[in-house]
Structure 1
Amino acid sequence: MKKSSYQMNRDEYIVLDIETTGLSKYMHNITEIAAVKIKDDKIVDEFHTLINPKEPIPRFITRLTGITNEMVKNSPTIKEALPDFLEFLGSTTIIAHNATFDYGFIEYNAKKHLGKKISNKYSSFAMTKSS
């Protein structure tokens, strides 16, 4: 896993957000993946799916995220959803509010369920446009 610096490619990147059943990538599961691909300051592609975590979503997580057990019951599992997400991701740099957390869950699950090592650069830096 390579952490990017300000030399990251600002021409194309993916803004990622995930929701989970808790804070540990080892003990908890992803319930939602949402991402947009930005190229030349425009959204050019989107990825979104709810994920069936195969465990009950704690009430406090539902209150925090708005995601209920009912919403995810017919959704794909992370193992089913990851191949499409990783194809969407490609080798593009990832931007996220808490990139270490979000990327960590994706990286861990890619290895656990698909035997794949991903090595996208990622950043928690705020992206601002100069006026």
Structure 2
Amino acid sequence: MARTRPLVIQVVTGDPRPIGRQIVDGVRMAIATGELAAGDQVPSVRGLAQQLNVNPNTVAKAYAELAAEGWLDARQGLGLFVAPPRQRLSEVERDRRFDEAVQRFVHEVVALEMRPADAVARVQDALRGLAPRRRA
């Protein structure tokens, strides 16, 4: 039986993203980088809410979004588990979201007056740092 894996995410009050979005993004990142693997149980709504010191309804909504997108599977009476890898979004939706993310990033880079080469180098460094990690 899978054991509950600790979920190490941070909620930052100064972040422009709502708390629920930060939770969703944190769980997605933990799954994408291999910190959480398929079959791992995530903390309960109440447990994560206490850990992050946030309203349980916020965690419940974040978990519901993750389940609806196929990142988590609910097992009746057992809790929430990381879903097996699969294509979670259609190619069209993936492209749309990627284009939006690139546009937001480009606008920030321009506003910060960063050189394009510096921006590309930092993105490459950040992506290298997120390569899936292996667990023992």
Which TM-score band applies after superposition, normalised by the shorter structure?
under 0.3
Please give the TM-score of this superposition, normalised by the length of structure 1.
0.27
Larger Rg: 2
Please give the TM-score of this superposition, normalised by the length of structure 2.
0.27
Tell me which protein shows more strand as a share of its residues. Answer: 1
Tell me which protein shows more helix as a share of its residues. Answer: 2
